[in-house]
Structure 1
Amino acid sequence: MHHHSNLFFNEPFGFSSENLRTTLKPFRSFFKEITLKKNGFLVKQGEVCKYFCFIDEGVLRHTIEIDGQEKTTYLGMQNTVTVALNSFLLQQPSRKSIKALFDCRLWIMSRDVFLKLRENNPDFHKFYYNLIEKQLCLIDEYRLDLLTLSPEERYQKLLENEPKLIHDIPLHYLSSLLGISDRHMSRIRKNIK
């Protein structure tokens, strides 16, 4: 059985990477291509998110600051879409930051264009509906995993579902995402190979 319960995937929301890219191809002209350098922000906590984003290359890290500490809440991987959705849709200050873990090439779409497409284009509307539906299921499973799986089990699940992340993403970001202390994560890694 193949689970995608962590909030990062190479095959997002039930779409394979190439399928997602193919699905978005007819809408490519509505996106603007930009480069976001390492540590550059797509949106900062407290600011309004202006863009719906497809990650063509790179990784975007979603973070929140709690008691002066930055916590990773999500990793947006290559060939996935990402957005601070509440901020983007409601035009409210974002409760999180989204920044580049590495240099990234992104396709971004403004809110006005996004809303027009969503309302007037049945294919884009269907894409968006499926995306949100799958994401809600994954968020629910992720929350349950945090409550029911041990740190070792969460790491094992990550290892099975996303082995590339173990090599590509710095350990302290993964431990933050999985709700595990850096020290405990190091111990788990030594015991699980």
Structure 2
Amino acid sequence: MQIDQLKAAVQATVQLPPEQWEELAACWEPVSYKRKEVVTAAGEVERYVYFVLEGVQRAFAIEGDREATIVFNYTGSFSGVIDSFLLQQPSRYYLETLTACRCLRMPYAELVRLMDKYPLIERWVRLGTTWALSGVMERHIEMLTSNAEQKFRKLLARSPHVLNLIPHKYLASYLGIDPATFSKLLSTVRL
């Protein structure tokens, strides 16, 4: 059943022939994390790509005394510190669980081996990375051009379920606003 969730996520991007899917599927191992556990710390090299079966994670950076949430990952999404993973360089930020998480993970060497062997798997990784980069660029523009209320409205239009899934202090951090402003918007903005 766990592998079925992964297969659906992969097949949403590319249709792998059965033998390629079987070889890809064999490279994933189950792993579990407790609530508020650091999966990857700043300064470590990300060794795995993850697929979240259950739970919520966040990636965040710390600059001085300020913490900034970069992204959330939850059930059905791929996870990990993608730039550290793909470049095999130390991470500049942290990946932690917000809830207990069950994941599948694949080591870097296995993914590289499969990409070298199968152009369709390399295409899957390229397309996934392209979609992730597109999302990062969209979010970057939003952060530079939107005020607090606009960012709040866009978040709720895009992902209304996060209000019940993720603590509000982390949503405020993700939007780049203080928790008091987030609380005010929560009580005044009608969608």
TM range (shorter): 0.7 to 0.9
Give the counterpart letter for 2:107 in structure 1.
Answer: S
Residue-pair matches, total: 178
Matched residue of 2:60: which SS?
strand
1:49 to 46, 49, 65: 46
**2:9 is matched with which residue?**
20
Deviates more, 1:162-171 or 1:67-76: 67-76
Contact 1:175 / 1:181 at 8 angstroms: preserved in 2? Answer: yes
Q: How far did residue 70 of structure 1 move? A: 2.6
Contact 1:37 / 1:100 at 8 angstroms: preserved in 2? Answer: yes
TM-score, normalised to structure 1, is 0.85
Alignment of 1:54-133 (within 5 A): 54-133=51-130
- Is 1:173 the equivalent of 2:173? no
**2:152 is matched with which residue?**
155
**Can you give the 5+ residue segments of structure 2 that lack an aligned partner in the other structure?**
none
Q: How far did residue 68 of structure 1 move? A: 2.6
Contact 1:32 / 1:107 at 8 angstroms: preserved in 2? Answer: yes
**2:27 is matched with which residue?**
30
Question: How many angstroms apart in 1 are the aligned matches of 2:29 and 2:134?
Answer: 29
Q: How far did residue 168 of structure 1 move? A: 1.1
**2:131 is matched with which residue?**
134
Contact 1:50 / 1:111 at 8 angstroms: preserved in 2? Answer: yes
Contact 1:49 / 1:93 at 8 angstroms: preserved in 2? Answer: yes
Deviates more, 1:61-70 or 1:92-101: 61-70
Give the counterpart letter for 1:159 in structure 2.
Answer: L
Higher RCO (CA < 8 A, seq sep 6+): 1
Q: How far did residue 28 of structure 1 move? A: 2.0
Give the counterpart letter for 1:20 in structure 2.
Answer: A
Q: How far did residue 18 of structure 1 move? A: 7.7
Bigger radius of gyration among the two: 2
- Compute the RMSD of aligned alpha carbons: 2.0
**1:11 is matched with which residue?**
none
Question: How many angstroms apart in 2 are the aligned matches of 1:82 and 1:166?
Answer: 20
Contact 2:38 / 2:94 at 8 angstroms: preserved in 1? Answer: yes
Deviating above 6 A after TM superposition, structure 1's stretches of 4 or more consecutive aligned residues are none
**Can you give the 5+ residue segments of structure 1 that lack an aligned partner in the other structure?**
1-15
